[in-house]
Protein backbone atom coordinates (compact mmCIF):
# COMPACT_ATOMS: atom_id res chain seq x y z
CA UNK A 1 0.00 0.00 0.00
CA UNK A 2 1.43 3.42 -0.89
CA UNK A 3 1.97 5.93 1.86
CA UNK A 4 2.37 9.71 1.97
CA UNK A 5 4.29 10.39 5.16
CA UNK A 6 6.60 13.40 5.09
CA UNK A 7 10.29 13.17 5.95
CA UNK A 8 9.58 15.07 9.14
CA UNK A 9 7.01 12.45 10.13
CA UNK A 10 9.40 9.61 9.27
CA UNK A 11 11.88 11.00 11.79
CA UNK A 12 9.50 9.65 14.45
CA UNK A 13 10.56 6.00 15.00
CA UNK A 14 6.94 4.94 15.60
CA UNK A 15 5.87 6.43 12.27
CA UNK A 16 8.76 4.84 10.43
CA UNK A 17 7.84 1.38 11.85
CA UNK A 18 4.17 1.89 11.05
CA UNK A 19 4.97 2.97 7.54
CA UNK A 20 6.90 -0.28 6.99
CA UNK A 21 3.85 -2.27 8.12
CA UNK A 22 1.42 -0.26 5.99
CA UNK A 23 3.61 -0.50 2.90
CA UNK A 24 3.86 -4.27 3.38
CA UNK A 25 0.11 -4.68 3.00
CA UNK A 26 -0.80 -5.63 -0.58
CA UNK A 27 -4.52 -5.45 0.14
CA UNK A 28 -5.06 -9.12 -0.77
CA UNK A 29 -7.67 -9.60 1.96
CA UNK A 30 -6.59 -13.12 2.99
CA UNK A 31 -6.61 -11.92 6.60
CA UNK A 32 -10.30 -11.05 6.54
CA UNK A 33 -11.34 -14.71 6.62
CA UNK A 34 -9.49 -15.35 9.89
CA UNK A 35 -10.29 -12.09 11.67
CA UNK A 36 -12.87 -12.74 14.41
CA UNK A 37 -14.49 -9.31 14.19
CA UNK A 38 -14.85 -9.50 10.42
CA UNK A 39 -16.22 -13.04 10.69
CA UNK A 40 -18.85 -11.79 13.18
CA UNK A 41 -19.65 -8.32 11.85
CA UNK A 42 -18.87 -8.60 8.12
CA UNK A 43 -17.78 -4.95 7.98
CA UNK A 44 -14.58 -4.18 6.05
CA UNK A 45 -13.71 -1.55 8.66
CA UNK A 46 -13.71 -4.34 11.25
CA UNK A 47 -11.21 -6.37 9.24
CA UNK A 48 -7.40 -6.11 9.42
CA UNK A 49 -7.26 -4.67 5.91
CA UNK A 50 -9.88 -2.03 6.67
CA UNK A 51 -8.23 -1.13 9.96
CA UNK A 52 -4.86 -0.72 8.24
CA UNK A 53 -6.46 1.84 5.92
CA UNK A 54 -8.03 3.67 8.87
CA UNK A 55 -4.71 3.74 10.72
CA UNK A 56 -2.84 4.91 7.62
CA UNK A 57 -5.22 7.83 7.13
CA UNK A 58 -5.12 8.74 10.82
CA UNK A 59 -1.32 8.61 11.12
CA UNK A 60 -0.61 10.30 7.78
CA UNK A 61 -2.89 13.20 8.62
CA UNK A 62 -1.24 13.62 12.02
CA UNK A 63 -4.62 14.83 13.23
CA UNK A 64 -6.39 13.68 16.39
CA UNK A 65 -8.15 10.34 16.02
CA UNK A 66 -11.80 10.58 14.93
CA UNK A 67 -14.69 8.67 16.47
CA UNK A 68 -15.06 6.23 13.54
CA UNK A 69 -11.41 5.20 13.63
CA UNK A 70 -11.53 4.81 17.41
CA UNK A 71 -14.66 2.63 17.19
CA UNK A 72 -13.09 0.16 14.76
CA UNK A 73 -9.66 0.07 16.40
CA UNK A 74 -11.32 -0.44 19.81
CA UNK A 75 -13.15 -3.42 18.34
CA UNK A 76 -9.87 -5.07 17.35
CA UNK A 77 -8.97 -7.84 19.82
CA UNK A 78 -5.23 -7.68 19.09
CA UNK A 79 -5.56 -11.44 18.69
CA UNK A 80 -2.99 -11.34 15.85
CA UNK A 81 -4.77 -14.03 13.86
CA UNK A 82 -4.24 -11.72 10.88
CA UNK A 83 -0.47 -11.92 11.35
CA UNK A 84 -0.55 -15.71 11.13
CA UNK A 85 -2.57 -15.50 7.90
CA UNK A 86 -0.83 -12.59 6.17
CA UNK A 87 1.44 -13.79 3.34
CA UNK A 88 3.25 -10.44 3.26
CA UNK A 89 4.40 -10.52 6.87
CA UNK A 90 2.67 -7.26 7.86
CA UNK A 91 3.48 -6.47 11.49
CA UNK A 92 -0.07 -5.60 12.47
CA UNK A 93 0.79 -5.85 16.19
CA UNK A 94 3.21 -2.94 16.21
CA UNK A 95 0.97 -0.92 13.90
CA UNK A 96 -2.14 -1.27 16.05
CA UNK A 97 -0.10 -0.63 19.23
CA UNK A 98 1.09 2.63 17.69
CA UNK A 99 -2.46 3.53 16.63
CA UNK A 100 -3.71 2.91 20.17
CA UNK A 101 -1.00 5.16 21.57
CA UNK A 102 -2.00 7.90 19.10
CA UNK A 103 -5.67 7.47 20.04
CA UNK A 104 -4.96 7.75 23.75
CA UNK A 105 -2.87 10.87 23.16
CA UNK A 106 -5.35 12.66 20.90
CA UNK A 107 -8.89 11.41 21.48
CA UNK A 108 -11.00 12.42 24.47
CA UNK A 109 -13.18 9.50 25.49
CA UNK A 110 -16.42 10.05 27.46
CA UNK A 111 -15.84 10.46 31.21
CA UNK A 112 -17.34 7.05 32.14
CA UNK A 113 -15.05 5.35 29.63
CA UNK A 114 -11.98 7.13 30.97
CA UNK A 115 -12.87 6.19 34.52
CA UNK A 116 -13.46 2.55 33.58
CA UNK A 117 -10.18 2.27 31.68
CA UNK A 118 -8.21 3.87 34.51
CA UNK A 119 -9.91 1.56 36.99
CA UNK A 120 -9.14 -1.57 34.96
CA UNK A 121 -5.49 -0.59 34.58
CA UNK A 122 -5.15 0.14 38.27
CA UNK A 123 -7.10 -2.85 39.66
CA UNK A 124 -6.04 -5.69 37.36
CA UNK A 125 -2.33 -4.98 37.67
CA UNK A 126 -2.33 -4.69 41.48
CA UNK A 127 -3.00 -8.04 43.18
CA UNK A 128 -4.12 -6.43 46.48
CA UNK A 129 -6.70 -4.23 44.79
CA UNK A 130 -7.96 -7.07 42.61
CA UNK A 131 -8.42 -9.32 45.64
CA UNK A 132 -10.51 -6.62 47.34
CA UNK A 133 -12.66 -6.02 44.25
CA UNK A 134 -13.28 -9.76 43.80
CA UNK A 135 -14.27 -10.11 47.45
CA UNK A 136 -16.77 -7.27 47.01
CA UNK A 137 -18.06 -8.83 43.78
CA UNK A 138 -18.72 -12.14 45.57
CA UNK A 139 -20.43 -10.40 48.50
CA UNK A 140 -22.62 -8.02 46.49
CA UNK A 141 -23.13 -10.05 43.31
CA UNK A 142 -26.95 -9.97 43.42
CA UNK A 143 -27.07 -6.21 44.02
CA UNK A 144 -24.56 -5.70 41.22
CA UNK A 145 -26.53 -7.86 38.81
CA UNK A 146 -29.75 -6.00 39.57
CA UNK A 147 -27.97 -2.69 39.06
CA UNK A 148 -26.43 -3.88 35.76
CA UNK A 149 -29.91 -4.66 34.44
CA UNK A 150 -31.08 -1.12 35.18
CA UNK A 151 -28.07 0.78 33.85
CA UNK A 152 -28.14 1.84 30.17
CA UNK A 153 -25.50 0.63 27.67
CA UNK A 154 -22.57 0.68 27.72
CA UNK A 155 -22.49 0.79 31.56
CA UNK A 156 -24.96 -2.03 32.26
CA UNK A 157 -23.43 -4.64 29.92
CA UNK A 158 -19.95 -3.75 31.15
CA UNK A 159 -20.85 -4.14 34.80
CA UNK A 160 -22.58 -7.38 33.95
CA UNK A 161 -19.45 -8.60 32.10
CA UNK A 162 -17.24 -7.78 35.08
CA UNK A 163 -19.52 -9.67 37.48
CA UNK A 164 -19.66 -12.58 35.07
CA UNK A 165 -15.87 -12.80 34.97
CA UNK A 166 -15.38 -12.60 38.74
CA UNK A 167 -14.92 -16.15 40.09
CA UNK A 168 -17.84 -17.28 42.27
CA UNK A 169 -15.52 -19.12 44.65
CA UNK A 170 -12.68 -17.59 46.63
CA UNK A 171 -9.23 -18.90 45.58
CA UNK A 172 -8.21 -22.05 47.47
CA UNK A 173 -4.61 -20.99 47.81
CA UNK A 174 -2.50 -17.93 48.57
CA UNK A 175 -0.33 -16.32 45.87
CA UNK A 176 3.17 -17.71 45.52
CA UNK A 177 5.60 -15.93 47.85
CA UNK A 178 8.59 -14.21 46.22
CA UNK A 179 11.78 -16.20 46.83
CA UNK A 180 13.95 -18.98 45.48
CA UNK A 181 12.46 -22.43 44.90
CA UNK A 182 15.17 -25.05 44.56
CA UNK A 183 14.90 -28.62 43.32
CA UNK A 184 15.40 -31.34 45.92
CA UNK A 185 18.66 -32.82 44.49
CA UNK A 186 21.95 -31.77 46.06
CA UNK A 187 23.87 -31.08 42.81
CA UNK A 188 23.90 -27.96 40.66
CA UNK A 189 20.46 -27.49 39.07
CA UNK A 190 20.18 -28.05 35.35
CA UNK A 191 18.88 -24.51 34.83
CA UNK A 192 18.10 -21.39 36.83
CA UNK A 193 15.03 -19.47 35.72
CA UNK A 194 12.90 -16.53 36.86
CA UNK A 195 9.15 -17.06 36.88
CA UNK A 196 6.96 -14.12 35.96
CA UNK A 197 4.46 -14.60 38.77
CA UNK A 198 2.07 -12.18 37.08
CA UNK A 199 -0.57 -9.91 38.53
CA UNK A 200 -4.21 -10.95 38.01
CA UNK A 201 -3.38 -14.66 37.62
CA UNK A 202 -1.90 -14.82 41.13
CA UNK A 203 -5.23 -13.82 42.60
CA UNK A 204 -7.56 -15.59 40.17
CA UNK A 205 -5.77 -18.95 40.12
CA UNK A 206 -2.71 -19.15 42.42
CA UNK A 207 -2.59 -22.91 41.85
CA UNK A 208 -1.10 -22.28 38.39
CA UNK A 209 2.14 -20.78 39.71
CA UNK A 210 2.43 -23.50 42.34
CA UNK A 211 2.06 -26.24 39.70
CA UNK A 212 4.59 -24.43 37.50
CA UNK A 213 7.19 -24.27 40.27
CA UNK A 214 6.69 -27.96 41.16
CA UNK A 215 7.02 -28.95 37.51
CA UNK A 216 10.17 -26.88 36.96
CA UNK A 217 11.72 -28.13 40.20
CA UNK A 218 10.99 -31.70 39.12
CA UNK A 219 12.82 -30.91 35.89
CA UNK A 220 15.79 -29.90 38.07
CA UNK A 221 15.37 -26.16 37.55
CA UNK A 222 15.83 -23.57 40.28
CA UNK A 223 13.01 -21.03 40.14
CA UNK A 224 13.46 -17.43 41.29
CA UNK A 225 10.47 -15.17 41.92
CA UNK A 226 11.88 -11.68 42.61
CA UNK A 227 9.86 -9.48 44.93
CA UNK A 228 10.30 -6.44 42.64
CA UNK A 229 8.98 -8.06 39.44
CA UNK A 230 5.29 -7.49 38.79
CA UNK A 231 2.85 -7.04 35.93
CA UNK A 232 4.43 -7.57 32.49
CA UNK A 233 2.87 -4.27 31.32
CA UNK A 234 0.56 -5.77 28.70
CA UNK A 235 -2.71 -4.52 30.20
CA UNK A 236 -1.57 -0.89 30.27
CA UNK A 237 0.08 -1.29 26.87
CA UNK A 238 -3.11 -2.51 25.22
CA UNK A 239 -5.06 0.30 26.84
CA UNK A 240 -2.63 2.71 25.14
CA UNK A 241 -1.05 3.82 28.47
CA UNK A 242 2.51 3.71 27.21
CA UNK A 243 4.27 5.33 30.16
CA UNK A 244 2.66 3.00 32.70
CA UNK A 245 3.47 -0.01 30.51
CA UNK A 246 7.12 1.00 30.10
CA UNK A 247 7.50 1.59 33.83
CA UNK A 248 6.47 -2.06 34.40
CA UNK A 249 8.82 -3.24 31.66
CA UNK A 250 11.82 -1.43 33.17
CA UNK A 251 11.01 -2.62 36.71
CA UNK A 252 10.86 -6.24 35.55
CA UNK A 253 14.10 -6.06 33.59
CA UNK A 254 15.90 -4.58 36.60
CA UNK A 255 14.39 -7.19 38.96
CA UNK A 256 15.52 -10.09 36.77
CA UNK A 257 18.99 -8.61 36.32
CA UNK A 258 19.29 -8.38 40.10
CA UNK A 259 18.24 -12.03 40.44
CA UNK A 260 21.66 -13.24 39.29
CA UNK A 261 22.57 -15.57 36.45
CA UNK A 262 19.43 -16.82 34.69
CA UNK A 263 18.91 -19.21 31.80
CA UNK A 264 15.40 -17.97 31.03
CA UNK A 265 12.47 -15.89 32.20
CA UNK A 266 9.40 -18.10 32.17
CA UNK A 267 5.86 -16.89 31.55
CA UNK A 268 2.99 -19.28 32.18
CA UNK A 269 0.38 -16.88 30.76
CA UNK A 270 0.93 -16.67 27.02
CA UNK A 271 -0.44 -13.12 26.85
CA UNK A 272 2.33 -12.02 29.22
CA UNK A 273 4.89 -14.09 27.30
CA UNK A 274 4.04 -12.27 24.07
CA UNK A 275 4.66 -8.99 25.84
CA UNK A 276 8.01 -10.14 27.32
CA UNK A 277 9.25 -11.14 23.88
CA UNK A 278 8.47 -7.61 22.64
CA UNK A 279 10.44 -5.81 25.40
CA UNK A 280 13.35 -5.12 23.03
CA UNK A 281 11.08 -3.42 20.51
CA UNK A 282 9.25 -1.43 23.16
CA UNK A 283 12.45 0.08 24.54
CA UNK A 284 14.26 0.42 21.21
CA UNK A 285 14.32 4.20 21.51
CA UNK A 286 15.78 4.27 25.03
CA UNK A 287 19.57 4.07 24.82
CA UNK A 288 19.94 3.20 28.51
CA UNK A 289 17.55 0.25 28.31
CA UNK A 290 17.60 -0.96 24.71
CA UNK A 291 20.22 -3.71 25.07
CA UNK A 292 18.97 -4.82 28.46
CA UNK A 293 15.45 -5.10 27.08
CA UNK A 294 16.65 -7.07 24.06
CA UNK A 295 18.52 -9.47 26.33
CA UNK A 296 15.43 -10.04 28.45
CA UNK A 297 13.27 -10.58 25.37
CA UNK A 298 15.79 -13.05 23.96
CA UNK A 299 15.67 -15.32 26.96
CA UNK A 300 11.94 -15.10 27.63
CA UNK A 301 10.11 -18.37 27.12
CA UNK A 302 6.61 -19.67 27.48
CA UNK A 303 6.52 -22.50 30.01
CA UNK A 304 5.60 -25.09 27.35
CA UNK A 305 8.38 -23.88 25.08
CA UNK A 306 10.91 -24.26 27.89
CA UNK A 307 9.63 -27.67 29.00
CA UNK A 308 9.73 -28.86 25.38
CA UNK A 309 13.43 -27.94 25.25
CA UNK A 310 14.16 -29.80 28.49
CA UNK A 311 11.91 -32.76 27.70
CA UNK A 312 9.43 -34.32 30.12
CA UNK A 313 10.93 -36.70 32.67
CA UNK A 314 11.09 -40.38 31.73
CA UNK A 315 7.98 -42.16 32.94
CA UNK A 316 5.70 -39.10 32.81
CA UNK A 317 2.27 -40.64 32.67
CA UNK A 318 -1.24 -39.22 33.00
CA UNK A 319 -2.67 -40.69 36.23
CA UNK A 320 -6.12 -40.93 34.61
CA UNK A 321 -7.25 -41.56 31.03
CA UNK A 322 -8.54 -38.06 30.44
CA UNK A 323 -9.80 -36.55 27.22
CA UNK A 324 -8.36 -33.03 27.21
CA UNK A 325 -9.75 -30.35 24.89
CA UNK A 326 -7.01 -27.83 24.23
CA UNK A 327 -7.95 -24.14 24.01
CA UNK A 328 -5.08 -22.51 22.17
CA UNK A 329 -4.79 -18.88 23.26
CA UNK A 330 -4.24 -16.37 20.45
CA UNK A 331 -1.11 -15.18 22.22
CA UNK A 332 0.20 -18.76 22.20
CA UNK A 333 -0.53 -19.60 18.57
CA UNK A 334 -0.44 -16.19 16.86
CA UNK A 335 1.56 -13.99 19.25
CA UNK A 336 4.34 -16.45 20.08
CA UNK A 337 3.84 -18.89 17.18
CA UNK A 338 3.91 -21.89 19.52
CA UNK A 339 0.94 -23.67 17.94
CA UNK A 340 1.07 -27.39 18.65
CA UNK A 341 3.76 -27.33 21.37
CA UNK A 342 1.50 -27.49 24.45
CA UNK A 343 -0.68 -30.12 22.78
CA UNK A 344 2.40 -32.24 21.99
CA UNK A 345 3.54 -32.10 25.62
CA UNK A 346 0.12 -33.14 26.87
CA UNK A 347 0.08 -36.07 24.43
CA UNK A 348 3.57 -37.10 25.52
CA UNK A 349 2.30 -37.05 29.10
CA UNK A 350 -0.37 -39.57 28.12
CA UNK A 351 -3.48 -37.42 27.77
CA UNK A 352 -5.80 -37.72 24.79
CA UNK A 353 -5.79 -34.26 23.27
CA UNK A 354 -8.67 -32.94 21.20
CA UNK A 355 -8.79 -29.65 19.31
CA UNK A 356 -11.94 -27.63 18.63
CA UNK A 357 -13.19 -26.35 15.29
CA UNK A 358 -12.16 -22.76 14.52
CA UNK A 359 -9.23 -23.10 16.92
CA UNK A 360 -7.62 -20.04 15.29
CA UNK A 361 -10.46 -17.72 16.38
CA UNK A 362 -10.25 -15.75 19.62
CA UNK A 363 -12.48 -16.67 22.60
CA UNK A 364 -13.17 -12.96 23.20
CA UNK A 365 -11.02 -12.52 26.29
CA UNK A 366 -8.16 -10.39 24.90
CA UNK A 367 -7.01 -8.63 28.08
CA UNK A 368 -9.71 -6.16 29.04
CA UNK A 369 -11.65 -6.57 25.78
CA UNK A 370 -14.33 -8.74 27.40
CA UNK A 371 -15.19 -5.83 29.72
CA UNK A 372 -14.82 -3.02 27.20
CA UNK A 373 -16.56 -4.77 24.27
CA UNK A 374 -18.89 -7.23 26.01
CA UNK A 375 -21.26 -7.79 23.09
CA UNK A 376 -18.61 -9.01 20.66
CA UNK A 377 -16.74 -10.82 23.43
CA UNK A 378 -19.89 -12.68 24.48
CA UNK A 379 -20.58 -13.80 20.92
CA UNK A 380 -17.03 -15.09 20.57
CA UNK A 381 -17.26 -16.82 23.92
CA UNK A 382 -20.47 -18.61 22.99
CA UNK A 383 -18.98 -19.68 19.66
CA UNK A 384 -15.79 -21.00 21.27
CA UNK A 385 -17.66 -22.68 24.14
CA UNK A 386 -19.91 -24.45 21.63
CA UNK A 387 -16.93 -25.86 19.73
CA UNK A 388 -15.24 -26.97 22.94
CA UNK A 389 -18.39 -28.57 24.33
CA UNK A 390 -18.85 -30.51 21.07
CA UNK A 391 -15.62 -32.41 21.82
CA UNK A 392 -17.20 -34.01 24.91
CA UNK A 393 -13.87 -33.82 26.74
CA UNK A 394 -13.36 -34.43 30.47
CA UNK A 395 -11.43 -31.23 30.97
CA UNK A 396 -10.28 -28.19 28.97
CA UNK A 397 -6.67 -27.05 29.14
CA UNK A 398 -5.20 -23.69 28.21
CA UNK A 399 -1.95 -21.84 28.71
CA UNK A 400 -3.49 -18.44 29.36
CA UNK A 401 -5.46 -17.24 32.36
CA UNK A 402 -7.45 -14.84 30.15
CA UNK A 403 -9.01 -17.70 28.16
CA UNK A 404 -9.66 -19.64 31.36
CA UNK A 405 -11.55 -16.75 33.00
CA UNK A 406 -13.46 -15.99 29.83
CA UNK A 407 -14.64 -19.55 29.18
CA UNK A 408 -14.99 -20.98 32.69
CA UNK A 409 -18.67 -20.18 33.14
CA UNK A 410 -19.61 -21.10 29.58
CA UNK A 411 -18.23 -24.64 29.22
CA UNK A 412 -19.59 -27.82 30.78
CA UNK A 413 -16.30 -29.18 32.19
CA UNK A 414 -13.49 -27.71 34.36
CA UNK A 415 -10.83 -25.50 32.80
CA UNK A 416 -7.29 -26.03 34.00
CA UNK A 417 -3.85 -24.78 33.04
CA UNK A 418 -1.52 -27.02 31.02
CA UNK A 419 1.05 -26.70 33.85
CA UNK A 420 -1.39 -28.36 36.27
CA UNK A 421 -1.86 -31.38 34.00
CA UNK A 422 1.88 -31.73 33.34
CA UNK A 423 2.60 -31.36 37.05
CA UNK A 424 0.03 -34.10 37.80
CA UNK A 425 1.44 -36.42 35.13
CA UNK A 426 4.94 -36.06 36.56
CA UNK A 427 4.08 -36.76 40.19
CA UNK A 428 2.25 -33.66 41.46
CA UNK A 429 -1.27 -33.45 42.88
CA UNK A 430 -4.33 -33.47 40.59
CA UNK A 431 -5.49 -30.04 39.38
CA UNK A 432 -7.49 -28.29 42.07
CA UNK A 433 -10.60 -27.95 39.92
CA UNK A 434 -10.64 -31.68 39.18
CA UNK A 435 -10.48 -32.36 42.92
CA UNK A 436 -13.32 -29.93 43.55
CA UNK A 437 -15.60 -31.52 40.97
S1 LIG B 1 -5.74 -8.54 15.61
FE2 LIG B 1 -7.46 -9.99 15.47
S3 LIG B 1 -9.30 -8.72 15.63
FE4 LIG B 1 -7.58 -7.32 15.19
S5 LIG B 1 -7.59 -7.12 12.97
FE6 LIG B 1 -6.15 -8.80 13.43
S7 LIG B 1 -7.40 -10.66 13.33
FE8 LIG B 1 -8.83 -8.92 13.44
S1 LIG C 1 -3.31 -10.57 4.45
FE2 LIG C 1 -1.67 -9.08 4.86
S3 LIG C 1 -1.24 -8.14 2.88
FE4 LIG C 1 -3.23 -9.13 2.68
S5 LIG C 1 -4.72 -7.53 3.21
FE6 LIG C 1 -4.30 -8.64 5.09
S7 LIG C 1 -2.64 -7.47 6.06
FE8 LIG C 1 -2.74 -6.80 3.92
Residue 232 alpha carbon to ligand 1 centre in Å: 22
Distance CA 58, CA 116 (A): 25
Residue 77 alpha carbon to ligand 1 centre in Å: 6
* 171 located within any domain: no
Distance CA 343, CA 350 (A): 11
> Are 293 and 328 contained in the same domain?
no
**Mean residue pLDDT across the chain:** 95
371-390: pLDDT as tens digits: 999 999 999 999 999 999 99
* 1 located within any domain: no
Residue 386 alpha carbon to ligand 2 centre in Å: 29
Query: Where is pLDDT greater, at 212 or 433?
Result: 212
Query: In CATH, what number is assigned to the domain containing residue 412?
Result: 3.40.50.1860
Residue 41 alpha carbon to ligand 1 centre in Å: 12
Last residue of a domain, one of 307, 325, 348: 307
Ligand nearest to the CA of 54: 1
How many residues are listed for the chain in this entry?
437
- pLDDT confidence band for 248 (50 / 70 / 90): very high
- Do β-strands 264-267 and 191-196 pair in parallel, antiparallel, or remain unpaired? parallel
* 173 located within any domain: no
Pocket residues: Cβ below 6 A from ligand 2: 25-31, 48-49, 82, 85-86, 88, 90
Average the pLDDT over 30-48 and give the result. 98
> Are 188 and 154 contained in the same domain?
no
Interhelix angle 92-106/13-24, rounded to 10 degrees, is 130
DSSP codes, 69-110 = HHHHHHT-----HHHHH-TT---HHHHHHHHHHHHHHH----
Query: Where is pLDDT greater, at 278 or 142?
Result: 278
Residue 370 alpha carbon to ligand 2 centre in Å: 26
> Are 143 and 193 contained in the same domain?
no
Closest atom of ligand 1 to CA, residue 37: 3
Are the CB atoms for 403 and 332 separated by under 8 Å?
no
Ligand nearest to the CA of 29: 2
> Are 424 and 339 contained in the same domain?
yes
> Are 131 and 184 contained in the same domain?
no
* 278 located within any domain: yes
pLDDT at position 76 is 98
> Are 294 and 399 contained in the same domain?
no
- The closest residue, in CA terms, to atom 2 on ligand 1 is 79
Strand ranges, E, within 13-66: none
70-124: pLDDT as tens digits: 999 999 999 999 999 999 999 999 999 999 999 999 999 999 999 999 999 989 9
Residue 107 alpha carbon to ligand 2 centre in Å: 27
> Are 250 and 154 contained in the same domain?
no
Pocket test residue of 29, 46, 89 for ligand 2, highest count of atoms within 8 A of CB: 29
In DSSP terms, 324 is beta-bridged to 353, 395
> Are 298 and 326 contained in the same domain?
no
Average the pLDDT over 294-300 and give the result. 98
- The closest residue, in CA terms, to atom 6 on ligand 1 is 82
CB 78 near ligand 1, within 6 Å: yes
Query: In CATH, what number is assigned to the domain containing residue 224?
Result: 3.40.50
pLDDT at position 437 is 58
CB 224 near ligand 1, within 6 Å: no
Average the pLDDT over 6-10 and give the result. 96
pTM for the full model? 0.94
Last residue of a domain, one of 280, 307, 334: 307
For CA atoms 65, 70, 74, 80, give the dihedral sign: negative
> Shortest CA distance to 223 belongs to which of 174, 270, 258, 190?
190
CB 364 near ligand 1, within 6 Å: no
Closest atom of ligand 1 to CA, residue 81: 7
- The closest residue, in CA terms, to atom 3 on ligand 2 is 25
> Are 269 and 289 contained in the same domain?
yes
116-175: pLDDT as tens digits: 999 999 899 888 999 999 988 888 888 888 888 888 888 888 888 888 888 888 877 889
Distance CA 118, CA 95 (A): 23
Ligand nearest to the CA of 97: 1
CB 48 near ligand 1, within 6 Å: yes
> If residue 181 lies in a helix (H) or strand (E), which one and from where to where?
strand 179-181
| Angle, alpha carbons 284-289-290 (nearest 5°) | 30
Ligand nearest to the CA of 79: 1
CB 81 near ligand 1, within 6 Å: yes
Residue 302 alpha carbon to ligand 2 centre in Å: 28
> Shortest CA distance to 184 belongs to which of 216, 206, 207?
216
> Are 86 and 118 contained in the same domain?
no
- The closest residue, in CA terms, to atom 5 on ligand 1 is 48
* 359 located within any domain: yes
Query: Where is pLDDT greater, at 208 or 238?
Result: 208
Residue 136 alpha carbon to ligand 1 centre in Å: 34
In DSSP terms, 426 is beta-bridged to none
Residue 283 alpha carbon to ligand 2 centre in Å: 27
Q: Who's near 319: CB < 8 A, 6+ residues apart?
A: 424, 425, 430
Residue 286: asked if its preceding bond is cis (omega within 30°), the reply is no
- Per DSSP, the three-state class of 389 is helix
- The closest residue, in CA terms, to atom 2 on ligand 2 is 86
436 has a pLDDT exceeding 70: no
DSSP codes, 228-270 = T----SHHHHHTT-HHHHHHHHHHHHHHHHHT-S-SEEEESSH
Query: Where is pLDDT greater, at 316 or 70?
Result: 70
Are the CB atoms for 269 and 335 separated by under 8 Å?
no
> Are 98 and 132 contained in the same domain?
no
- Do β-strands 264-267 and 300-302 pair in parallel, antiparallel, or remain unpaired? parallel
323-371: pLDDT as tens digits: 999 999 999 999 999 999 999 999 999 999 999 999 999 999 999 999 9
- pLDDT confidence band for 68 (50 / 70 / 90): very high
Residue 84 alpha carbon to ligand 1 centre in Å: 10
Are the CB atoms for 171 and 131 separated by under 8 Å?
no
pLDDT at position 165 is 85
**107 phi/psi in degrees, rounded to 5:** -110, 130
* Residue 153 structural domain: 111-165
414 has a pLDDT exceeding 90: yes
> Are 322 and 290 contained in the same domain?
no
Q: How many domains does the chain have?
A: 4
Last residue of a domain, one of 281, 307, 333: 307
Amino acid sequence: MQTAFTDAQRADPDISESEKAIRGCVHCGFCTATCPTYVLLGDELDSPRGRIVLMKVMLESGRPADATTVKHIDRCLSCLSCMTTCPSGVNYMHLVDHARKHIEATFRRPLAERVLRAMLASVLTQPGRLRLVLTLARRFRRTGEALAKRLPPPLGPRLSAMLDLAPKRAPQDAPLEPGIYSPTGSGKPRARVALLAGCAQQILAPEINRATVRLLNRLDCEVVVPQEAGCCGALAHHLGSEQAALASVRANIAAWEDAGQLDAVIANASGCGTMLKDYGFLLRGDAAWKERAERTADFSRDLCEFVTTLGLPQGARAPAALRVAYQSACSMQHGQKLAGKPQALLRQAGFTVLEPAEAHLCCGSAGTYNVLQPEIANQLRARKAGHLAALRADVIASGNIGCMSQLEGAVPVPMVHTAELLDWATGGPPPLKLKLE
